Amino acid sequence: MHKRRKLLALGAAGASAMMVLTACSGGGGEETEGEREVTWVINSIPAAWASISSAGGSVYTIQTLSGVLPYTGQWQPDGTYEYNMDVLAEEPTLINDDLDEGPFQYSFTLADDAVWSDGEPMTGEDIRVSVMMSASPDAGYCTTCDSRGGTTADMVEEMEVDGKTITFTLKEGLADAEWMSQVDAHSTGGGFYPAHLAEENGWDVDDPDELGEYFTWLHETRPEWSGGPYMITDGDLENQVVKEPNPEWWGEAPQLDRIIMPFNTDESTFVNAINNGEIDGANPAQYSGDVMQELEGLPQVTLSVGEGNIWEHVDLNLENEWLEDTELRRAIFTAIDRDDIANRNFGAGYPEYELKNNHIFGNDSPHFTDVISDSGQGSGDTDAAIEILEEAGYELDGDTLMLDGEQVGPLRLRATDTQTRSTSLQLIQAHLAEIGIEAEIEVIDDLGGVLAEQDYDIIQFGWSGTPYFTTSPEQYWHSESGSNFGKLSNEEIDELVEAVGGASSQEEAAEYANEAASLVVDEAYVLPIMHEPNYFFVNDRVANIEDNLQSSYRATYNIGEWALAE
């Protein structure tokens, strides 16, 4: 009897505690009555408060600063480019693009009512200082700024500031077909930064050492400033940031009272968290079929998936004794079945996938030309591959490919240990076995080192691309480029990729880029597979939100327009 009373008391205490907890919820994501709040996950931890540097230059830092950094324009989800007419007074002006008439010149003029959150007007000086911080150390503006970009900023000879207007003059002989990108959403800094805060803190931005101090300060200090619809009011670089409307924002007023952005590194937690009302959505940088499948089953969630900006490709080491032969390389690429690789990796979650048929341009780009399909490369056509080999003097001895009585290979097939690449390597191994080539799979954990040391015969890895393209061909294929890891050397290609960088219009640059890409296919140097898909999911309580796969900002690209669904 005594024991029973004790048990009953214990049970009652437990029940009371549960009732109290039930009544006084402590869980996250709850909003104060009447407040419009959205919790948007950032899928990793941003390393710094500014994205200009190599360490801070991640999509996570960019997304953390969404709604805070002003920028002059950006690519829209449908692939069109729009200037930011909240920030600009008028569309930027191309003053001169004819190098025979003088240096390449263009200018930006900021809107009259564009101000920072402390009321200070935005001026051309803000852009000038941002470009100085984005340039390489060798440009001489700053001694300690470790900019992650520099390509566009380094072209600049002179910046002339006249109040709201800044005029750029490029170095002699240089043209920039993508000049509008200087301080847009896709630039090194993800936009531009205030200059007046340097002066307020006692730094002279024209002193290279002091500009470096300002650069460090921007990276270390949580922005209390804003030039966009929201400003960061709380948070840190470890857990989350909280954004509230910028009271000085001159554009259309944002419709949310608060946006909380927790940094969540584990995608497997998303399903429970959105079910539990702790988050409203995310745009992860990685593809995860399992998570997508679970999200698809949630009635309150909208899920979308599309081509991301990282594209996978197979590269050959042209300095390998066997792979020096172009015909062997063509046969290898012909034997590889790209559709098999893409389908097995992404077919279940993203059956609408498309193979990538141009190294530089996406399939929906106005500059796109199919340079791959006619070559038969990536088709998995074993018979065609064997025919190429036989014509070149190779012969199959049973299951082994021979040349002059010697076995071809074995070749070392390498990639980092991701699920996608592991599957891909196994398939490539099987495709090559069909034409008598033995490939040994070797997984790596130091991609940069392996590429730099050319420690591979065949390798699969990814490049990230953007709608901007003029610097890519030279970087990928020029014989002097440090990123031409497999050592392609072709004078005609060198000339074409140099011409891409020097073109004064995008059309002209694209023409050269496509010509170069065709020659690269002839050389059978790089075989593009496809863009790795990215997914986005959002709770149906949030309105005016969509993924922008053209931009590092992803879904946060229009954060000022986010609202709660009626």
Q: Long-range contacts made by residues 424-429, C-beta under 8 angstroms, separation at least 24?
A: 424/312, 424/341, 424/345, 424/460, 424/529, 425/460, 427/337, 427/340, 427/341, 427/344, 428/314, 428/336, 428/341, 428/458, 428/460
Closer residue to another protein (CB): 317 or 484: 484
Task: In angstroms, give the least distance from the CB of 253 to another protein.
Answer: 25
Closer residue to another protein (CB): 54 or 80: 54
Q: Which of 80, 239, 300, 505 binds another protein (CB under 8 A)?
A: 239
Distance CA 33, CA 81 (A): 39
Q: Which of 395, 286, 267, 279 is nearest to 345 (CA)?
A: 286
Task: In angstroms, give the least distance from the CB of 235 to another protein.
Answer: 8
Q: Which of 129, 96, 125, 95 is nearest to 110 (CA)?
A: 125
Task: In angstroms, give the least distance from the CB of 273 to another protein.
Answer: 5
Closer residue to another protein (CB): 400 or 471: 471
Q: Which of 265, 103, 178, 39 is nearest to 509 (CA)?
A: 178
Token representation of residue 163: 């109040």
Q: Which of 403, 488, 392, 387 is nearest to 437 (CA)?
A: 403
Closer residue to another protein (CB): 1 or 20: 20
Q: Is 307 exposed, middle or buried (0-12, 13-18, 19+ CB in 10 A)?
A: buried
Task: In angstroms, give the least distance from the CB of 143 to another protein.
Answer: 9
Task: In angstroms, give the least distance from the CB of 267 to another protein.
Answer: 11
Distances (CA, A) of 325 to 318, 392, 428, 483: 8, 9, 19, 22
Closer residue to another protein (CB): 136 or 422: 136
Q: Is 293 in the site for another protein (CB under 8 A)?
A: no
Q: Is 250 in the site for another protein (CB under 8 A)?
A: no
Q: Which of 120, 131, 117 is nearest to 68 (CA)?
A: 117
Q: Is 550 in the site for another protein (CB under 8 A)?
A: no
- Sign of the CA dihedral with 224 first, then 230, 236, and 242 last: positive
Q: Which of 78, 98, 100, 445 binds another protein (CB under 8 A)?
A: 445
Q: Is 242 in the site for another protein (CB under 8 A)?
A: yes
Q: Is 377 in the site for another protein (CB under 8 A)?
A: no
Task: In angstroms, give the least distance from the CB of 171 to another protein.
Answer: 15
Q: How many residues bind another protein (CB under 8 A)?
A: 69
Distance CA 483, CA 121 (A): 42
Number of residues assigned to the chain: 566
Q: Which of 219, 421, 478, 554 binds another protein (CB under 8 A)?
A: 219
The answer to whether residues 345 and 351 touch, using CB atoms and an 8 Å cutoff, is no
Residues 446-475 that bind another protein (CB under 8 A): 446-449, 451-452, 463-465, 471-472, 475
Which residues, at least 6 apart from 499, have a Cβ–Cβ distance to it below 8 Å?
509, 512
The answer to whether residues 304 and 555 touch, using CB atoms and an 8 Å cutoff, is no
Q: Is 532 in the site for another protein (CB under 8 A)?
A: no
x/- mask, another protein, residues 30-49, rule CB under 8 A, reads x--------------x-xx-
Task: In angstroms, give the least distance from the CB of 334 to another protein.
Answer: 28
Q: Is 498 in the site for another protein (CB under 8 A)?
A: no
- Helical axes 382-391 vs 326-335, angle rounded to 10°: 170
- Sign of the CA dihedral with 543 first, then 549, 550, and 552 last: positive
Q: Which of 268, 479, 505, 544 binds another protein (CB under 8 A)?
A: 268
Q: Is 348 in the site for another protein (CB under 8 A)?
A: no
x/- mask, another protein, residues 146-175, rule CB under 8 A, reads xxxxxx--x---------------------
Residues 401-430 that bind another protein (CB under 8 A): none
Closer residue to another protein (CB): 426 or 471: 471
Q: Which of 231, 230, 80 is nearest to 548 (CA)?
A: 80
Closer residue to another protein (CB): 437 or 459: 459
Task: In angstroms, give the least distance from the CB of 145 to another protein.
Answer: 9
Task: In angstroms, give the least distance from the CB of 188 to another protein.
Answer: 10
The residue assigned the tokens 């801070």 is 56
Determine the interface stretch with another protein among 4-12, 25-33, 101-109, 514-522 (rule: CB under 8 A): 25-33
Q: Is 208 in the site for another protein (CB under 8 A)?
A: no
Task: In angstroms, give the least distance from the CB of 275 to another protein.
Answer: 5
Q: Is 98 in the site for another protein (CB under 8 A)?
A: no
Q: Which of 113, 120, 112 is nearest to 225 (CA)?
A: 120
Q: Which of 220, 224, 319, 399 binds another protein (CB under 8 A)?
A: 220
Closer residue to another protein (CB): 29 or 376: 29
Name the strands in the sheet holding 156-162, side by side, starting at the edge strand that comes first in the sequence: 93-96, 105-109, 165-170, 156-162
Distance CA 496, CA 359 (A): 15
Determine the interface stretch with another protein among 22-30, 162-170, 360-368, 535-543 (rule: CB under 8 A): 22-30
Q: Which of 3, 22, 33, 98 binds another protein (CB under 8 A)?
A: 22
Q: Which of 415, 409, 461 is nearest to 435 (CA)?
A: 409
Residues 351-370 that bind another protein (CB under 8 A): none
State the amino acid at position 449 in one-letter form. G
DSSP-based three-state secondary structure for 220: helix
Q: Which of 275, 369, 382, 422 binds another protein (CB under 8 A)?
A: 275
Closer residue to another protein (CB): 46 or 560: 46
Distance CA 242, CA 112 (A): 29
State the amino acid at position 388 in one-letter form. I
Q: Which positions lie near another protein, rule CB under 8 A?
A: 18, 20-30, 45, 47-48, 53-57, 136-138, 144, 146-151, 154, 216, 219-220, 234-235, 238-240, 242, 260, 262, 264-266, 268-269, 272-273, 275-279, 445-449, 451-452, 463-465, 471-472, 475, 482-483
